[in-house]
């Protein structure tokens, strides 16, 4: 049996796609999930302090507003509960096939069907359309440090937290100072005897003022039509204006840097520490960090910032290049994710046996981030060059799933076999994206997970969210080849 749509991943993107398919009257779909629970990154990231640094009214779907967000910025458990609620209120649980780890996709040009293979001995599945919703930040990355296997203490990755490990009285080393670390360190310093934070590059940190949403506000959100939408719009436009300073180097970049420096000066008294925490690249080049408790945590007596580069891990600790060995009972790796820019999470074989990882070997590309020529009826959420450097990932995601489910709906209702994006339209789009990227802060000289080692940016979208939404607003059929069934219905 062939189903109409297979969605790979039951995180935000997968669940949102399923809801929008239902809204369009498409019921013949399944969601394939490798884990035993929904939630994707919000299921996996349960480290102490895990929260979202984008306001919840914007970090949620406009078609699933939640009047009950407890704070401006929500903790991970509240976000996970929001995803679970969407699953239940849309009756999606029975549509999810848990513990189904996809290990390959193969297109059959004769039938216009995708064969989806699974790890283990599960039988393959056939689907007319596939939505990739497996997430760009799904696989935890341990750094390639010498001696990593020799270290005899506890190793915990931020995205695979060990809740059985008791930090009380322990000496802890934290490697990394990105968005995860700035949330973890303030929590760890409360429990552990000592925390050493190993910084390779300091980040630009902006204050994050988190307020509780009062009962009156919640009642207003519940009862006044449009109140939630209005709050969302205000946050949206606030974030859009920040793009002017963080996506491109403009006078507003200087303003962002000044606010961050004032924040540093207000929170850190020690001049040496301040100097170590001052970035030497333009704000926005790496992801901006949002925290009002990271700097105070670093100033505590039981916390120390280590800025000497790590030479290797030893049996009992971390050795830095000047020859000091920092003995620790546990190392927290806040070192991010394996974002393999040229790869795909599993082999994907399209028309004429073309393997997508080969086509992407010099960097991933797509048409408007959602489709790739030669891979008919296969759609991507968070595909190449869709990363927001500002604003909310959920805003981008909603645009993607509306575009994708609209294309699927049209293909099914017209009785077409498939839609395949034209190479010329795809090339035009990518030339434009790469040209626009040269003027952005990400390509201005720092190294980040946005870039490949040779500086190719297949990750970020070089523009305002409003531009991205406009690009995905409608399906331009002139950019696609419409494949039709032959007389035998194949």
Least Å distance, CB 29 to ligand N01, is 28
Give the x/- contact pattern for ligand N01 in 301-320, rule: CB under 6 A: ---------x----------
The 3-state DSSP class for residue 85 equals: helix
Distance in Å, CB of 68 to ligand N01, minimum: 20
Q: Bin 188: left if φ > 0, else alpha if -120 < ψ < 50, else beta.
A: alpha
Q: How many CA atoms lie within 13 A of 447 on its CB side?
A: 5
Distances from the Cα of 29 to the Cαs of 3, 92, 127, 130, 131, in angstroms? 6, 10, 9, 10, 10
Residue 298 binds ligand N01 (CB under 6 A): no
Is residue 177 involved in binding ligand N01 (CB under 6 A)?
A: yes
Minimum separation from the CB atom of position 203 to ligand N01 (A): 7
Site for ligand N01 in 144-173 (CB under 6 A): 145, 158
> Helices 215-223 and 227-246, interaxial angle, to 10°?
110
Cβ atoms within 10 Å, residue 232? 20
From the list 148, 112, 143, 144, the residue with the least C-alpha distance to 127 is 112
Choosing from 200, 218, 300, 304, the residue that interacts with ligand N01 (CB under 6 A) is 200
As measured in angstroms, the least distance from the Cβ of 64 to ligand N01 is 18
Burial class (CB in 10 A: 0-12, 13-18, 19+), 25: exposed
CB of 175 to ligand N01, least distance (A): 5
Residue 202: CB minimum distance to ligand N01, A: 8
143 binding ligand N01? (CB under 6 A): yes
Q: What is the DSSP letter of 41?
A: H
Q: Given the rule CB under 6 A, which of 119-127, 216-224, 323-331, 335-343 is the region that contacts ligand N01?
A: 335-343
| Overall size of the chain counted in residues | 490
Q: Applying CB under 6 A, does 175 fall inside the site for ligand N01?
A: yes
Binding mask 98-137 for ligand N01 (x = CB under 6 A): ---------------------------------------x
Cα separation, 193 vs 425, in Å, equals 58
Rounded Cα distance, 208 and 399, in Å: 27
176 near ligand N01 (CB under 6 A)? yes
3-state DSSP assignment of residue 55: coil
User: Per CB under 6 A, which region of 102-110, 119-127, 176-184, 211-219 contacts ligand N01?
Assistant: 176-184
Tokens 């390639």 — which residue?
Answer: 144
Count, residues near ligand N01 per rule CB under 6 A: 24
Dist. CA 241–CA 337, nearest whole Å: 29
Site string for ligand N01, 347-386 (x = CB under 6 A): ----------------------------------------
d(C-alpha 437, C-alpha 443), whole Å: 7
- Looking only at the bridges linking them, the beta strands covering 205-206 and 29-32 are unpaired
Q: Which stretch binds ligand N01 (CB under 6 A): 49-57, 89-97, 103-111, 232-240?
A: 49-57
Between 337 and 367, name the residue whose CB sits nearer to ligand N01. 337
- Give bridge partners of residue 306 from the DSSP assignment: 198
Tell me the CA distances in angstroms from 61 to 67, 92, 243, one per residue in order.
Answer: 12, 16, 21
Residue 201 sits in the site that holds ligand N01 (CB under 6 A): yes
Return the residue of 335, 411, 430, 440 that touches ligand N01, per CB under 6 A: 335
Taking CB under 6 A as the rule, does residue 179 contact ligand N01?
yes
Binding span for ligand N01 by CB under 6 A among 9-17, 195-203, 256-264, 461-469: 195-203
Q: Which is nearer to ligand N01, 115 or 452 (CB)?
A: 452
Draw the binding track, 234-273, toward ligand N01 (x: CB under 6 A; -: no contact). ----------------------------------------
287: contact with ligand N01 by CB under 6 A: yes
Nearest to 305 by CA among 207, 423, 200, 159: 200
Q: What angle, rounded to 10 degrees, do the helices at 251-267 and 227-246 form?
A: 100
Q: Which is nearer to ligand N01, 182 or 356 (CB)?
A: 182
Indicate whether 178 belongs to the interface with ligand N01 (CB under 6 A): yes
The residue among 248, 164, 124, 262 whose CA lies nearest residue 205 is: 262
- Provide CB contacts within 8 A for 216, sequence distance 6+: none
Residues of span 409-468 touching ligand N01 by CB under 6 A:
449
The answer to whether the Cα torsion of 457, 463, 465, 471 is positive or negative is negative
Closest CB 92 distance from ligand N01, rounded Å: 24
Choosing from 5, 18, 54, 359, the residue that interacts with ligand N01 (CB under 6 A) is: 54
Q: Which residues bind ligand N01 (CB under 6 A)?
A: 52-54, 137, 143, 145, 158, 175-181, 198, 200-201, 287, 310, 334-337, 449
């Amino acid at each position: 049996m062939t189903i109409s749509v297979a969605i790979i991943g039951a995180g935000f993107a997968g669940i949102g796609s399923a809801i929008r398919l239902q809204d369009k009257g498409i019921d013949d779909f399944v969601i394939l999930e490798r884990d035993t629970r929904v939630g994707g990154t919000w299921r996996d990231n349960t480290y102490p302090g895990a929260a979202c640094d984008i306001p919840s009214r914007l970090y949620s779907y406009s078609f699933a507003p939640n009047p009950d967000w407890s704070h401006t910025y929500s903790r991970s458990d509240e976000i996970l509960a929001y995803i679970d609620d969407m699953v239940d209120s849309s009756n999606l649980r029975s549509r999810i096939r848990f513990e189904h780890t996809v290990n390959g996709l193969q297109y059959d040009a004769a039938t216009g069907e995708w064969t989806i293979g699974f790890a283990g001995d599960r039988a393959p599945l056939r689907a007319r359309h596939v939505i990739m919703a497996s997430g760009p930040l799904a696989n935890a990355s341990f750094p390639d440090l010498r001696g990593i296997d020799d270290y005899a203490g506890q190793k915990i990755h931020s995205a695979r937290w060990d809740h059985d490990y008791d930090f009380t009285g322990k000496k802890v080393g934290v490697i990394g100072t990105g968005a995860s670390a700035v949330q973890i360190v303030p929590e760890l310093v409360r429990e552990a005897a000592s925390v050493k934070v190993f910084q390779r590059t300091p980040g630009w940190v902006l204050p994050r003022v988190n307020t509780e949403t009062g009962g009156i506000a919640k009642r207003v959100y519940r009862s006044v039509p449009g109140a939630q939408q209005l709050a969302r719009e205000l946050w949206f436009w606030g974030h859009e204006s920040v793009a002017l300073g963080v996506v491109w180097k403009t006078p507003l970049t200087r303003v962002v840097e000044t606010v961050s420096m004032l924040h540093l000066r207000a929170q850190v008294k020690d001049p040496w520490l301040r100097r170590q925490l001052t970035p030497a690249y333009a704000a926005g080049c790496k992801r901006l960090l949002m925290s009002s408790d990271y700097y105070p945590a670093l100033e505590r007596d039981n916390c120390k910032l280590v800025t000497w580069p790590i030479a290797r891990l030893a049996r009992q600790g971390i050795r830095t290049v000047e020859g000091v060995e920092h003995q620790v009972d546990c190392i927290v790796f806040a070192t991010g994710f394996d974002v393999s820019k040229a790869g795909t999470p599993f082999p994907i074989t399209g028309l004429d046996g073309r393997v997508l990882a080969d086509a992407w070997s010099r960097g991933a590309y797509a048409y408007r981030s959602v489709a790739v020529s030669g891979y008919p009826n296969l759609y991507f959420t968070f595909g190449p060059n869709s990363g927001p450097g500002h604003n909310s990932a959920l805003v981008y995601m909603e645009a993607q799933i509306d575009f994708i489910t609209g294309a699927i709906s049209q293909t099914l209702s017209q009785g077409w076999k498939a839609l395949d994006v034209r190479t010329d339209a795809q090339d035009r789009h990518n030339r434009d994206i790469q040209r626009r990227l040269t003027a952005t802060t990400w390509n201005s000289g720092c190294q980040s997970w946005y870039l490949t080692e040779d500086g190719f940016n297949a990750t970020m979208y070089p523009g305002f969210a409003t531009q991205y939404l406009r690009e995905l607003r409608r399906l331009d059929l002139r950019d696609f080849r419409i494949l039709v069934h032959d007389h035998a219905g194949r």
